[in-house]
Structure 1
């Protein structure tokens, strides 16, 4: 019996039986189709040391695209994933080929062959690849700024289009998740007469907090970035520009919003479904929740329509998806602001990780820069946004102006938990509002003086347009 460090994507019972004969399952990681094993069998495997993950969505071995998508999502950052390629060979050797097992053999053989070919295509090295600096939108106040970015061993990510196929979306997602980071590279930042230097970490990330010594006015500012040791074909060092936003003096409050299942549907509570959705769509074809774009524009504009209230987005999505998320906001005419995402690997996309600490840390970072500004916090009830925002109220009650939670989880136990949080938050004089949709939230915001009343028509119209577009797309 042999051991293997790679993960195993198991689609059929025949594949599992073959795997059990050839691999030490006590040291294996299995990704199983739902219903493939009984609960007691899974329990015994886990007791023996096997890491067992039951996928939330069934992968059909007859559908190559589903197989290739699942394969890319379960494989490790290096190496491959096993996809039942040895089933037919093992059964033929034993002489146990029956009509039923013959069908399983064909399914396993075709799935394995297709997935192997897909990996060969995706792993094929590109000629002329160059380093690419990816600066993220930063933020600051009148006296200091914060900016983050990443250095990758990639020339560029191809821009995605409205008519991209599922395969093209899958390849684009894969390239982003598997981009090769450049560690320990020198980075020099120049801003407002101040120069700082740092090095990229193991993930290729770098960040700067710069206090230039001169008062900064509201608006967008540019930080010049240079990578002295990474020369371009012309012999000059690699350069990039990071955009940093300082809120305008007219800003009356700030907005901190989640993205997943708040701005757009991602089904973030189901990691495999979320990943498959990302693989099948792109920033052109994904749509926001109905009315969100107009509601966020109204919050950005404020009562006077010219407050220019700053937007911040805090999400558990990986930094790899930063570009598509910014493109999505721009295409949907949702006010763009700094995105604070999470450092994740391909394997972690499938895991249901504790993400509360990440969001809370990033919100704390924002509040630290704006101690005199109040914020409207927007999230959903699917994961931990209500609990995270309640903790923000506990720590910084003077910094929270309002909390809006989109109700996406009808489970009675979840509703009871939200009621308890509403009661706790209300005791501080702050409202935690559970909203069924953007029109409800916008109506409440107008009544509370957060947005202009005449913007409600735009939110309702935006919702109707979204509903019409969805009906046309589905043929309803």
Structure 2
């Protein structure tokens, strides 16, 4: 038993190192200034692009290209990479442009006013990013920006952890194992999630392109892993922009509170997509029901529905959510506590948020999982 436990621990350590090293590994040992942009988002009036500019050390020739030693070296390079402060960044989307400089940790968050309208026959647009660091050749990279069409009729904001995928927040060790060790396709999505989110994205007509924005309690370091997970599980890939900055640095050793982070971003999105009704999706394990109820009270008539995925079987927690349901009973927003994706899909269909085809797809996918 002890030997097996040690082997599992060793496997955990190796997989963790390999995962943490992966974003660094792809530059093939090259050092110098790097730019990592994150997928952007926007409305018809403005767009936002975020990313980081940093300096990374070069990998020595004595280090092998593969194996544990390479992973250790790449993790060390990642830990000691240095964000470049006050570095010029220019973002160009169509004929629109805006410049900024990075903050003290090398991050940039550019708001680009869309004075020149973007084509409305497509939703994903290319943003060109130029970075000019002192004494260096300018660096150019690109990233996608999602701008919903003018006829978009609904905004969806969804949690990720224990809402889209199993993470076991209540069981911290299991969460860490699933988050940092399992491959993306092994981090199981909840049954019916892919078809549910596809149905919400496409709407009642089946042709809508509604914005879906995802939020996670995890750090920016897992951004690429989440993207791979979404693609492998056929979940509509929206801007996974709202990961919490954990601040793992000597200056900021602790992360922001997750509920404060979530409330701030929802306020920001409701302002950006002013006028669009919104559906909020979360889980019962943390503070989503309380945060979302506060949003409904602050924005009367903006929140169309709240869907809370039930995780765990704590009677006290269920009763606290029932109490929130009673608080919202006099509003136009339904708070639905659902044990599976079917109940969410049925309510969404009854209220015209998804098509009958979308409802059938959710039921079919859940049934296939149960048969398997």
TM-score by length of 2: 0.82
**Match for residue 124 of structure 2 among 185, 203, 220:** 220
Give me the whole-angstrom Cα distance separating, in 2, the residues matched to 1:191 and 1:197.
12
CA contact (8 A) 2:248 2:254 kept: no
Give me the whole-angstrom Cα distance separating, in 2, the residues matched to 1:179 and 1:269.
33
- Which residue does the alignment assign to 1:355? 258
Instruction: Say which structure, 1 or 2, has more relative contact order (CA 8 Å, 6+ apart).
Output: 2
- Which residue does the alignment assign to 2:278? 375
Question: Which stretch of structure 1 is more off in the superposition, 363-372 or 186-195?
Answer: 186-195
Which secondary structure does the structure 2 equivalent of 1:198 belong to? strand
Give me the whole-angstrom Cα distance separating, in 1, the residues matched to 2:365 and 2:69.
31
| Residues 221-370 of structure 1 aligned to structure 2 (within 5 Å) | 221-229=125-133, 236-339=137-240, 340-345=242-247, 354-370=257-273
- Which residue does the alignment assign to 1:442? 345
Inter-CA distance 432–213: structure 2 relative to 1 (3 Å threshold): same
Give me the whole-angstrom Cα distance separating, in 1, the residues matched to 2:320 and 2:56.
45
Gaps of 5+ in 1: 1-58, 75-114, 157-164, 470-476
Give me the whole-angstrom Cα distance separating, in 2, the residues matched to 1:284 and 1:175.
27
Q: CA deviation at 1:425?
A: 1.9
Give me the whole-angstrom Cα distance separating, in 2, the residues matched to 1:205 and 1:253.
30
| Residues 453-472 of structure 1 aligned to structure 2 (within 5 Å) | 453-467=356-370
Matched, 1:199 2:101: yes
Q: CA deviation at 1:134?
A: 1.6
Matched, 1:384 2:251: no
Q: CA deviation at 1:399?
A: 1.7
CA contact (8 A) 1:293 1:334 kept: yes
Inter-CA distance 270–181: structure 2 relative to 1 (3 Å threshold): farther
| Residues 21-32 of structure 1 aligned to structure 2 (within 5 Å) | none
Give me the whole-angstrom Cα distance separating, in 2, the residues matched to 1:179 and 1:465.
46
- Which residue does the alignment assign to 2:336? 433
Q: Between Structure 1 and Structure 2, whose CA radius of gyration is higher? A: 1
Which secondary structure does the structure 2 equivalent of 1:386 belong to? helix
- Which residue does the alignment assign to 1:414? 317
For this pair of structures, how many residues does the alignment match?
Answer: 353
Inter-CA distance 174–290: structure 2 relative to 1 (3 Å threshold): farther
Inter-CA distance 73–425: structure 2 relative to 1 (3 Å threshold): farther
- Which residue does the alignment assign to 1:149? 51
CA contact (8 A) 1:178 1:346 kept: no
Give me the whole-angstrom Cα distance separating, in 2, the residues matched to 1:311 and 1:298.
11
Q: CA deviation at 1:442?
A: 0.8
Inter-CA distance 208–222: structure 2 relative to 1 (3 Å threshold): same
Give me the whole-angstrom Cα distance separating, in 1, the residues matched to 2:129 and 2:9.
41
Give me the whole-angstrom Cα distance separating, in 2, the residues matched to 1:166 and 1:380.
37
Question: Which stretch of structure 1 is more off in the superposition, 208-217 or 258-267?
Answer: 208-217
Which secondary structure does the structure 1 equivalent of 2:133 belong to? strand
Gaps of 5+ in 2: 59-66
Which secondary structure does the structure 1 equivalent of 2:48 belong to? strand
Which secondary structure does the structure 2 equivalent of 1:426 belong to? coil
Please report the RMSD computed on the Cα atoms of aligned residues, expressed in angstroms: 3.7
Inter-CA distance 148–319: structure 2 relative to 1 (3 Å threshold): same
- Which residue does the alignment assign to 1:27? none
